[in-house]
Structure 1
Amino acid sequence: MTKEYNDRIEELEHMSRYPENIYYRGNLNLLKKRKVSIVGSRKPLSYTNKTTFKLANELAKRDIIIVSGAALGVDAISHKAASPNNTIAVMANGLDIKYPAVNSKLISSIENEGLVLSMYQDTQKPRNYTFVQRNELVVALGEILIVTQADLNSGTLSSINYALKMGKEVYTIPHQIDDSLGTQKLLEKNLIKPIYNLENFVNNFGKIKKSEDEKLSSFLNTFPSYQDALRLYKDKIFQLELEGKIVIENGLVKPI
């Protein structure tokens, strides 16, 4: 069900004009987290696919929310790599419309587990101008913008222009000399920055956030005392004992 969001969103103050309305479906808590915007070509190269997925996935592991526009290509890859519960999709239409239709399943999963935003009320269909306005909102939400591929005269270049006007850093990935000419030209002018080492880049956003299960697994591999294990993971320890996944020997917990 679509709801209207009435509080101010600090990041949107960077837009040329604050939106008259913001509609949403999903988890508003994602707005409180650190966010990075990722956009790019609707027809990305296989190299772009792979690198975009890796970037979004590694950032999400560091508890960074990925913001994109739910379009074909780079947008969809970014949302999927982040996982639905760690992404914000910004739509160019009313939220009762799943556009593009080929991404309807993805959009629905983000509605249920993540967050979907729009400046347009239900039933409003996408138009050329709504895509441009959507792009500005996507850029405003992220602390930086990553454009993994953009050709000359690509609509994605409008996102870069918005980011530069907002004073945000824009990053891209290196391409072969005849590929992604839109970003290549901007690199030549030193308007945007290249990501040469993906690991170093994502590590600037912190360490990987382990899930509770991963934390418990790491803890058990230290052969903790039964008393410490119960103090930190009482219910889990009882469950693992019943399932026969741990044993208690000489007062220590040992995984099987």
Structure 2
Amino acid sequence: MKIVKNKIPELFSMKSYPKQLFYNGNLELLQRVKVSIVGSRKPTKYSREYIQKISLALSKNGICVVSGGAMGIDATAHSGAGSFNTIAVLPCGIDMRYPAVNKNLLNNIGNNGLLLSQFELGFRATPWSFIVRNELVVALGDVLIVGEADIDSGTMRSVEFALKMGKEIFVLPNRLGESEGTNQLIKESKAEAIYDIDEFVSKFSSSTTLGVSNKDDFIEFCSANPTYDEALAKYPQRIFEAELSGEIQIVNGRVLVL
């Protein structure tokens, strides 16, 4: 079991600093500029599509995406960022995989990115542990993006945490009758809508990342147009994610960076 020993400054915004924090993966991600993303477990196609695009754009600019490892918006945010540049906060022990449908995703994040949990090994998720998890997700991010939410949803509890912590909140613009929670946030001037992804990402891409380089070794390697087999041997997991997200394309057996 690995325990985070150094204090994480962002977590002092929580009601009380975690008594313990367990992890698997790359703790250097904590030093990056981070954006938290939360939302519905059953989002619309529109919400999935744009959270995917936003997460990918953030990741390409060296910004780490933080979410809760759940189905729906969480899983979309993690996969959009790529397992190498995302933090998943668990509502269970670091050795558990919840929900089971996201087992492969969470394993990849543990191997390439970072898994965090406040709970002992073997602890199974409970209704109250989701609330604990949500507060940690919100605290880690410089800002919070809400992909989609009903008014009385658990996601709106995360919004309450963000408001108490003084975090900026961003949402997708939605049609009337859809994602009424985020529409209400805009109406009450508690959140700002993201109308231009590049403009939104530019708010953070010039931010200082505490000395951590944003250089992407995988992209630099692929810029030399290696063969697919060479890239697969060196970056077996990343190459599939990059092809799926549209970062690269395989042409005549060689890797092309898009």
Structure-1-length-normalised TM-score = 0.81
Cα deviation, residue 81, structure 1: 0.6
Q: 2:65·2:78 contact (CA, 8 Å) conserved in 1? A: yes
User: Which residue is equivalent to 2:100?
Assistant: 101
User: Which residue is equivalent to 1:206?
Assistant: 205
Cα deviation, residue 117, structure 1: 0.2
CA distance in 2, matches of 1:211, 1:89: 20
Q: Is structure 2 residue 42 aligned with structure 1 residue 8?
A: no
Cα deviation, residue 154, structure 1: 0.6
- Closer, same or farther: CA 218–87 of 1 in aligned 2, 3 Å: closer
Residues 161-204 of structure 1, C-alpha deviations (whole Å, 9 max, x = no match): 10110011000010011100011111111011111111211122
Cα deviation, residue 152, structure 1: 1.6
CA distance in 2, matches of 1:14, 1:141: 9
User: Which residue is equivalent to 1:230?
Assistant: none
CA RMSD of aligned residues (A): 1.9
User: Which residue is equivalent to 2:209?
Assistant: none
Amino acid at match of 2:5: N
User: Which residue is equivalent to 1:22?
Assistant: 21
Cα deviation, residue 6, structure 1: 2.0
CA distance in 2, matches of 1:92, 1:219: 41
Q: Which runs of 5+ in 2 are unaligned?
A: 207-213, 226-253
Q: Is structure 2 residue 154 aligned with structure 1 residue 155?
A: yes
Cα deviation, residue 49, structure 1: 0.6
Cα deviation, residue 213, structure 1: 6.7
User: Which residue is equivalent to 2:51?
Assistant: 52
User: Which residue is equivalent to 2:122?
Assistant: 123
Q: Is structure 2 residue 110 aligned with structure 1 residue 111?
A: yes
Q: Which runs of 5+ in 1 are unaligned?
A: 221-244, 246-256
3-state DSSP of counterpart to 1:7: coil
Identity %, equivalent residues = 43
More deviation, 62-71/198-207: 198-207
CA distance in 1, matches of 2:222, 2:119: 45
User: Which residue is equivalent to 1:72?
Assistant: 71
CA distance in 2, matches of 1:108, 1:219: 29
Aligned structure 1 segments of 4 or more residues deviating by more than 6 angstroms: 216-220
Q: Tell which structure's C-alpha radius of gyration is larger.
A: 1
CA distance in 2, matches of 1:25, 1:215: 26
Q: Is structure 2 residue 141 aligned with structure 1 residue 142?
A: yes
User: Which residue is equivalent to 2:34?
Assistant: 35
Residues 103-122 of structure 1, C-alpha deviations (whole Å, 9 max, x = no match): 00100000000000000010
3-state DSSP of counterpart to 1:205: helix
- Closer, same or farther: CA 26–218 of 1 in aligned 2, 3 Å: closer
Cα deviation, residue 3, structure 1: 1.1
User: Which residue is equivalent to 2:246?
Assistant: none
- Closer, same or farther: CA 115–175 of 1 in aligned 2, 3 Å: same
Number of residue pairs matched by the alignment: 219
CA distance in 2, matches of 1:67, 1:213: 21
Residues 75-103 of structure 1, C-alpha deviations (whole Å, 9 max, x = no match): 00000010101000000010111000000
Amino acid at match of 2:43: P
Cα deviation, residue 214, structure 1: 5.2
User: Which residue is equivalent to 1:226?
Assistant: none
